[in-house]
Chains A and B, each alone.
Chain A
Amino acid sequence: MRHRISTLFKTLTLFITAAIMALSTGCVTQQPKPVADNCPIPSGNRVDDAFLTAQSTLSNPECRYKFDAVLNALLVISQGDPKMENQRLFSDFFIWAEKEGLISKIQAKKYYNTYFMPKFVSLPSNYQTCSHCPNLRKILTNCKQELKKKEVGLLKICNNKTAYAKASDDLQTIALILEAICSACAVE
């Protein structure tokens, strides 16, 4: 009887020791598996690679929601290598995004013209100017914000000083004309 209890005790001890060893060994040797990033945001300094990463990421249906983050990354990376060609890269990127259904055609045009053309998309293109006068301040504030984006696109990314100067100069003149028109509309 005593022998049987002793054998049972030994077996139990062995089992517990083995279990503890197995557990502790497992804790030491097993490394956490790296989580695969399915939606990488473009990084680094190479503009061409950044656009390739952008297209690769956004081609994944699960990553489409990252369009804004990807675009922001492209805008930052491109500033590291300012040149006229960047304008074409962005144009191609927006056309591709539109074809992929990531953005609408209107959005594509809006993005491109906001950053890379002197034309102000913030200026309303519907209804007569007099009807916009109550919102004149808001319109001009939006245009000033757009000018900052043109500074990024035209000046910092494309190094196109002439186009940026035209945008800046146009905005001053537009503000003058709108102020005069709204002052004249108010007289009526």
Chain B
Amino acid sequence: MEKKKSFINIRVSGLITITLCLLSLFTTHATLAKQQPKLNLFPIDVTEHLRNTGVVAKDMENRLKGAIGKLENQTKLYNETGCKGSEDPGCIEIAKQMGDHYMEMITIMKNSLPEMKSSIRSTNKGIGANLRKELGKKTTPADIQRLLSQKNKPKVFKGKYSLSSRFAKYHELISSGRTNNLATLASEIYLDSKEVLNMIDLMEAEISQQETYIRLGRMYGTLTSEMMETVQAVKSVVFGEAEDDSALPFMEDENSGGFHSPLEMD
């Protein structure tokens, strides 16, 4: 009789334990399901590529700054002293120096762009793969709006700052963990790096064409309008445009004016 009683007790306690385990499993699962998907968009290798791109870009900028600065000063002097079309030996000397500085700029670009390109390509490839895996295949378009519900909206850097500042800022934001909107930031970096890669391709093609012109001796002592355009293009891609940071202010959560309808969708 005693044995039977203790057997029943064991069975009851066993049943209770199993029920509790199942309940706890169910609760954990429900809680996890309610949580937002955890995105792994910036693994260590991608973050490292970003940092490296910033460093390489900074190095190229420093080297270009001097050459472009000298070129611009001499172009200004050439135009202000009425050298255009003049056969004056002084003017011919300025024009020759302008040509030399232009060549210097082109050489720097030619030497720096492959490394720059390789670094940006690695960043672009790494982020692209993670965007595809984490967002493209694990979320629906409707989920994407849910990911935006966080308060901090990342600032947009594209086109506003120099390449090195942009990539340094991207790297800083990711490593400091100051942004919640990783999806937006990853998309921004991915599209930005893709655009920069296209620009680098165009620049390389342009540089190679200009080198041929110069070698063939078709540069008649001064810079052609195409060459000036190249200088401007290099400046806008590498150094960016000086614009005010006009990130939108954060809007407080007053979207429904305090009223919540049972018809609201998750």
Contacts and interface: CB of A to CB of B under 8 A. Distances in A.
B166 to A, nearest CB: 16
Given A119-B145, A129-B135, A180-B187, A87 B256 contact: yes
Interface in A113-154: 113, 116-121, 123-130, 132, 139
Contacts of B191: 176, 179-180, 183
A173 interface: yes
Nearest to B258: A84
Chain B interface size range = 35 or more
A124 B128 CA distance: 22
Given A112-B263, A176-B184, A184-B132, A163 B140 contact: no
A128 B190 contact: no
A174 B255 CA distance: 18
Contacts of A182: 136
Interface in B232-266: 248, 251-252, 254-259, 261-265
Interface residues of A, number: 48
Contact of A177 (B128, B140, B144, B251): B144
Choose among A95, A166, A182 the residue with the greatest number of B CB atoms under 10 Å from its CB: A166
A84 B259 contact: yes
Contacts of B184: 173, 176-177
B160 interface: no
Q: B136, B183, B262: which has the most chain A beta carbons within 10 Å? A: B136
Interface in A160-188: 160, 162-163, 165-166, 169-170, 173-174, 176-185, 187-188
B194 interface: yes
A162 B252 contact: yes
A51 interface: no
Contact of A160 (B144, B190, B257): B257
B215 interface: no
A184 B225 CA distance: 37
B265 A87 contact: no
B148 interface: yes
A146 to B, nearest CB: 12
A187 B136 contact: no
B144 A176 contact: no
A106 B152 CA distance: 32
A87 B194 contact: no
Given A128-B138, A158-B257, A187-B132, A178 B144 contact: yes
B263 A109 contact: yes
Given A88-B259, A108-B263, A163-B255, A123 B129 contact: no
A118 B187 contact: no
B265 A109 contact: yes
Contacts of A158: 257
B256 A185 contact: no
A166 B257 CA distance: 13
A119 B148 CA distance: 11
B263 A95 contact: yes
A121 B144 CA distance: 12
A43 interface: no
Contacts of A132: 140-141
A162 B142 CA distance: 21
A184 B129 contact: yes
Interface of A: 84, 87-88, 91, 94-95, 108-109, 112-113, 116-121, 123-130, 132, 139, 158, 160, 162-163, 165-166, 169-170, 173-174, 176-185, 187-188
Given A123-B140, A127-B140, A166-B251, 6 more contacts: A91-B261, A95-B263, A123-B145, A128-B136, A162-B251, A182-B136
